[in-house]
């Protein structure tokens, strides 16, 4: 792997060390709401046991599927969100299922659960029940609205959170780009990402405090609150001016009509040219103009009058128009890289077609090969956002099959006699 010059010259992550959460046992009782938070912990070295209902968690039935063949072991969505985990099946609505779960919880560090508020306490599996056996336990309930409040029991899904959290009110189109367009919910299932990131943060804070105090605790996390926190300046703008932002195509929502920065390219793409028209000075404009001139597209921008800052600023609209015309005559990737090489922090609007195989990502070891032995195939997964040089992030195993670790954990660890597995399966416990 080429490092392209690592900071301080250190040699890259030390793979002789385990991940930073090594030695922590996490139980995950979660659907789409918590599987991402679980993945964050599992890839960082926690020993995470996913507890699914018999037949598998519902997230195994979300597409896309491998080769478009729907099957609970072929969901690519499930695959992504469940790397590095082990899995057992357990029906918590049976007495035996509850007993086994309590046994597991008595030796766990963290329980992460996303059941409706009140569901686990009604089964005798709430924090008070579980911490009685294990006062060091940290239990995080990550739910749509938290455990209290008038909306506590409301049903949601990703787009419902994008609406209630304010993401949609900030995202959409300038009227000239799409007339009468609705507010647009950004895609990708980000309600669960936003909730998962904040839940991870709270869990780690609880862990740190446990290291200091010896005590576990309960954590009530709300996806709605996490989303409501995640619209950057919209809240501050309202508090400061009592103005609500308006939606613009591919750039910040704002109270005014800001300059367009998402510019189309020759090959049908777009480049985000953040602040290109307004932050220019004579030196930067000249750098741009010389580049455009190589393609005969600089128009008058090499004129001497642009050696004057006031002129550059006064002609910002003209400069933007010339730039837009240049970009319209260039391929997306060339504009992006050419701009960056000239110190313009631009971004190509990439799809996976351009991202997979990117050389910088390759340098960072971002593309991770994960073997699925039962399929006899190896697939490329997305890697880590952050390189932990002293305690590496890694995908330690492919996503688990349904009940794959029942025997290993129930028999090997909890001491359930092997011959009882059949009975437990027949009676719907596992």
Q: Does 234 bind other proteins (CB under 8 A)?
A: yes
For the CB of residue 307, give the shortest distance to other proteins in the complex, in Å: 25
For the CB of residue 129, give the shortest distance to other proteins in the complex, in Å: 15
Q: Which is catalytic among the residues 252, 318, 372, 405?
A: 252
3 state SS of 337 = helix
CA distances (Å), origin 83, targets 53, 91, 270, 387: 18, 23, 33, 17
If the CB atoms of residues 192 and 424 are measured against other proteins, the closer one turns out to be 192
- Per-residue x/- marks for other proteins, 244-283, CB under 8 A? xxxxxxxxxxxx-----xx-x-----xxx-xx--------
If the CB atoms of residues 181 and 423 are measured against other proteins, the closer one turns out to be 181
Q: Which of residues 361-380 bind other proteins (CB under 8 A)?
A: 361, 363-364, 366, 379-380
Residue 7: DSSP 8-state: G
Question: Pairing between strand 138-143 and 377-382?
Answer: unpaired
Active site residue 197: no
Residue 189 CB-density burial (10 A; 0-12 exposed, 13-18 middle, 19+ buried): middle
Q: Does 228 bind other proteins (CB under 8 A)?
A: yes
* 78 contact partners, CB below 8 Å, separation of at least 6: 35, 57, 59, 60, 62, 72, 399
Q: How far is CA 395 from the centre of its chain?
A: 16
Q: Does 217 bind other proteins (CB under 8 A)?
A: yes
* 7 contact partners, CB below 8 Å, separation of at least 6: none
- Per-residue x/- marks for other proteins, 308-327, CB under 8 A? --------------------
* β-pair partners for 252: none
Distance CA 300, CA 293 (A): 10
Q: Does 10 bind other proteins (CB under 8 A)?
A: yes
If the CB atoms of residues 225 and 334 are measured against other proteins, the closer one turns out to be 225
Q: State which of residues 237, 259, 421, 425 lies at the interface with other proteins (CB under 8 A).
A: 237
- Answer for the pair 30, 113: CB distance below 8 angstroms, yes or no: yes
If the CB atoms of residues 360 and 426 are measured against other proteins, the closer one turns out to be 360
For the CB of residue 225, give the shortest distance to other proteins in the complex, in Å: 3
Q: Which of residues 162-201 bind other proteins (CB under 8 A)?
A: 162-173, 177-178, 181-190, 193-195, 197-201
Q: How many CB atoms lie within 10 A of CB 199?
A: 28
Q: Which of residues 324-353 bind other proteins (CB under 8 A)?
A: 336, 340, 343-353
Q: Does 79 bind other proteins (CB under 8 A)?
A: yes
If the CB atoms of residues 310 and 352 are measured against other proteins, the closer one turns out to be 352
For the CB of residue 425, give the shortest distance to other proteins in the complex, in Å: 28
If the CB atoms of residues 100 and 221 are measured against other proteins, the closer one turns out to be 221
Nearest-CA neighbor of 298 among 309, 307, 308, 287? 287
Task: Please identify, among the stretches 113-121, 153-161, 314-322, 416-424, the one whose residues bind other proteins according to the rule CB under 8 A.
Answer: 153-161
Distance CA 171, CA 249 (A): 8
Distance CA 152, CA 160 (A): 14
3 state SS of 287 = helix
Where in the sequence numbering do the catalytic residues fall?
A: 252
């Amino acid at each position: 792997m080429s490092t392209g010059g690592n900071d301080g010259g250190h040699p890259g992550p030390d793979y002789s060390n385990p991940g930073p959460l090594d030695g922590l046992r996490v139980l995950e009782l979660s659907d789409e709401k918590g599987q991402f938070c679980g993945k964050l912990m599992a890839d960082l070295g926690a020993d995470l046991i996913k507890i699914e209902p018999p037949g598998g968690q519902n997230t195994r039935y979300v597409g896309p599927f491998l080769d478009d063949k729907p099957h609970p072991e072929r969901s690519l969505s499930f695959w992504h969100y469940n790397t590095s985990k082990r899995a057992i099946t357990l029906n918590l609505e049976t007495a035996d299922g509850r007993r086994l779960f309590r046994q597991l919880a008595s030796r766990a560090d963290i329980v992460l659960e996303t059941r409706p508020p009140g569901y686990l306490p009604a089964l005798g599996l709430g924090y008070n029940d579980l911490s009685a056996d294990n006062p060091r336990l940290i239990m995080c309930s990550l739910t749509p609205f938290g455990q209290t409040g008038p909306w506590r029991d409301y049903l949601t899904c990703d787009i419902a959170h994008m609406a209630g959290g304010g993401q949609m009110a900030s995202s959409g189109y300038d009227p000239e780009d799409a007339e009468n367009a609705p507010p647009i919910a950004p895609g990708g299932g980000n309600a669960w990402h936003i909730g998962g990131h904040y839940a991870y943060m709270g869990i780690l804070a609880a862990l740190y405090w446990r290291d200091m105090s010896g005590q576990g605790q309960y954590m009530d996390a709300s996806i709605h609150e996490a989303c409501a926190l995640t619209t950057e300046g919209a809240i501050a703008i309202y508090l400061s001016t009592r103005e609500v932002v308006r939606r613009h195509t591919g750039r910040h929502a704002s109270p005014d009509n800001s300059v367009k920065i998402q510019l189309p390219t020759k090959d049908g793409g777009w480049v985000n040219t953040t602040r290109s028209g307004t932050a220019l000075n004579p030196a930067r404009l000249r750098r741009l103009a010389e580049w455009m001139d190589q393609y005969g597209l600089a128009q008058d921008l090499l004129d001497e009058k642009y050696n004057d800052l006031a002129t550059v600023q006064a002609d910002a609209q003209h400069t933007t128009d010339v730039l837009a015309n240049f970009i319209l005559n260039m391929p997306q990737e060339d504009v992006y890289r050419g701009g960056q090489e000239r110190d313009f922090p631009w971004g190509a609007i990439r799809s996976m077609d351009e991202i997979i195989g990117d050389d910088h990502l390759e340098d960072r070891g971002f593309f991770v090969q994960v073997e699925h032995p039962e399929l006899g195939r190896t697939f490329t997964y997305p890697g880590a956002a952050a390189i932990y040089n002293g305690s590496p992030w890694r995908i330690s195993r492919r996503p688990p099959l349904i009940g794959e670790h029942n025997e290993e954990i129930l028999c090997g660890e909890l001491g359930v006699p092997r011959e009882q597995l059949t009975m437990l399966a027949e009676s719907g416990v596992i």
